Each structure stands twice: as structure tokens, then as C-alpha cells.
């Protein structure tokens, strides 16, 4: 069985300006791998309506799932919900269930449900809410697009809510061999190994320690026995 595929769309000027370091992609990739969903592409776009809509349409048409992060807060530049609705041709407005969740949260906090906070209750028609146990404001799923907050703690909570509902495949497994040789020295054996194990991914990631060049060779796949065999063969070859 071929694993389902996914893409991630990171939205926000603050990411592209370098003011904020994105941590969500790393987390999502790990969680999807454990669930047997292959993350194939990640895009980062600014808070620009046309760019977001274009990216959503392209990714939603190319992959089984799309996960977005950022742009669903209470401020004027939080336009992700608007863009997702336009990408799907769906009507967007304050929805009663989302409003009730927010109202209960702010009542508990002793805060007013003002116009800005009410923006976070705007949900496209036909969307399913994504639970947010951290700050209450829900994300949503429309079609195959899962729309989530950019704040890492909230993003992680939303991912935990969404992934168990998705049909996964075989979890991605990996083993790493640390080699104190330069890439140029081991490139030949790695190429032959990759050709002999086309069902596996063989990656080489160089490093330098105390002036000596080395590489971490990572073998990834869904068949643990095949990974074991490939790693044994590689270790034996590089011992020579």
C-alpha cells in the first residue's frame, strides 16, 4: 500500500522576514511519519491573499492532505480563513458553534468577546472544527486542507486532534550510520547501495568535528527488515 501524501503551507510575513523561526514544520513532519503519511512539500508564503489562494489550490490538488499554519488570529493581517474560503468557493461568516466555544472561554477568563476576538469564529461553510485545548479558538478542516494556528503550542495541540482521524499507512522508519569519512570518499558505495535498494531512501548529511570531516548516512523506509539489510551491507562495505 502506498502511503497517503501531504504538504504544508506556512503563512506569515514574520517567517519570511526572519523575525520568527518556524518550528511547526519539524514537528508536523515527525508526527506524519509516525502515522504513515509522507510529507512531500513545504511552502512558505507571505500574508498575501493571491499567494495564499494560489498555493492552497495547487497543494490541495496535488496531495492527499494539506496542513496550514498561521494567519487565523484576531488581527487585520490574519487572512488565512478568508483565503481558504475563497480557494474553495465557500461562504465565510461567524458560525454559532465556534462563537459558543469562544464565548465560553472568554467568560471563564473574564474577558469581553469583542469584534477582534469574534473574527476567530469565522468558519467557511462545510468546514469541520479542529479542537484547540490551549486557547479555545478553533482551527478547521475544509476538503483536504487542515487550517491551524501558527503558535507552536497551539499548532501541536491541533495536530494531535487531527492526525488520529486520518487514514495513515506504514510508519516511516530510519537508521543512521555515523561515518568519519568525507562525502567524496563514500559517495560510490552509497550510490551502489541506493541502486540496490530502490525501495529505500539513502541520505548523506556531512559534518565536521575537530577538523575531521564525517557524514551521517540515514536509511529510511517502511520495511524494517530491508533497512536492517541495507545498513548491514553498508557497514560491511565501509569497514573495508
Task: List per-residue pLDDT tens for the chain, 240 residues long.
Answer: 789 999 999 999 999 999 999 999 999 999 999 999 999 999 999 999 999 999 999 999 999 999 999 999 999 999 999 999 999 999 999 999 999 999 999 999 999 999 999 999 999 999 999 999 999 999 999 999 999 999 999 999 999 999 999 999 999 999 999 999 989 999 999 999 999 999 999 999 999 988 889 999 999 999 999 999 999 999 999 885
How many residues make up the chain in this entry? 240
pTM of the predicted model, to two decimals?
A: 0.87
CATH 3.40.50.720 fits 173-239, yes or no: no
DSSP per position, the chain:
-PPPEEEEEEE-HHHHTTSS---HHHHHHHHHHHHT-EEEEEEEE-S-HHHHHHHHHHHHHHSSEEEEES--SSSTT--HHHHHHHHHT--EEE-HHHHHHHHHHHHHHT----HHHHGGGEEETT-EEE--TTT---EEEETTEEEE-SSHHHHHHHHHHHGGGS---SPPEEEEEEESS-HHHHHHHHHHHHHH-TTSEEEEEEEEETTEEEEEEEEEES-HHHHHHHHHHHHHHHH-
Domain boundaries, the chain: 5-165, 173-239
- The per-residue pLDDT for 143 is 97
Domain 5-165 in CATH: superfamily?
A: MoaB/Mog-like domain (3.40.980.10)
Query: Cell digits for 103?
Result: 464565548
Amino acid at each position: 500500500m502506498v502511503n497517503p501524501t501531504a504538504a504544508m503551507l506556512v503563512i506569515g510575513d514574520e517567517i519570511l522576514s526572519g523575525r520568527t523561526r518556524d518550528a511547526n514544520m519539524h514537528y508536523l513532519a515527525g508526527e506524519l511519519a509516525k502515522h504513515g503519511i509522507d510529507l512531500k512539500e513545504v511552502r512558505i508564503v507571505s500574508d498575501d491573499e493571491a499567494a495564499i489562494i494560489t498555493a492552497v489550490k495547487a497543494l490541495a490538488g496535488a496531495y492527499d492532505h494539506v496542513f496550514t499554519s498561521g494567519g487565523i488570529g484576531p488581527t487585520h493581517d490574519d487572512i488565512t480563513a478568508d483565503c481558504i474560503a475563497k480557494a474553495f468557493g465557500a461562504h465565510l461568516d461567524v458560525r454559532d458553534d465556534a462563537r459558543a466555544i469562544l464565548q465560553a472561554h472568554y467568560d471563564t477568563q473574564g474577558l469581553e468577546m469583542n469584534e477582534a476576538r469574534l473574527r476567530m469564529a469565522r468558519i467557511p461553510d462545510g468546514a469541520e472544527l479542529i479542537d484547540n485545548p490551549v486557547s479555545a479558538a478553533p482551527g478547521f478542516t475544509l476538503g483536504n486542507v487542515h487550517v491551524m494556528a501558527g503558535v507552536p503550542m497551539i499548532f501541536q495541540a491541533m495536530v494531535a486532534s487531527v492526525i488520529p482521524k486520518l487514514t495513515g499507512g506504514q510508519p516511516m522508519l530510519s537508521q543512521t550510520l555515523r561515518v568519519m569519512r568525507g562525502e567524496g570518499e563514500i559517495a560510490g558505495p552509497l550510490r551502489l547501495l541506493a541502486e540496490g535498494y530502490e525501495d529505500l531512501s539513502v541520505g548523506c548529511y556531512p559534518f565536521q568535528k575537530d577538523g575531521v570531516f564525517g557524514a551521517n548516512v540515514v536509511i529510511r523506509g517502511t520495511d524494517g527488515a530491508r533497512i536492517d539489510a541495507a545498513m548491514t551491507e553498508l557497514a560491511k562495505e565501509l569497514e573495508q
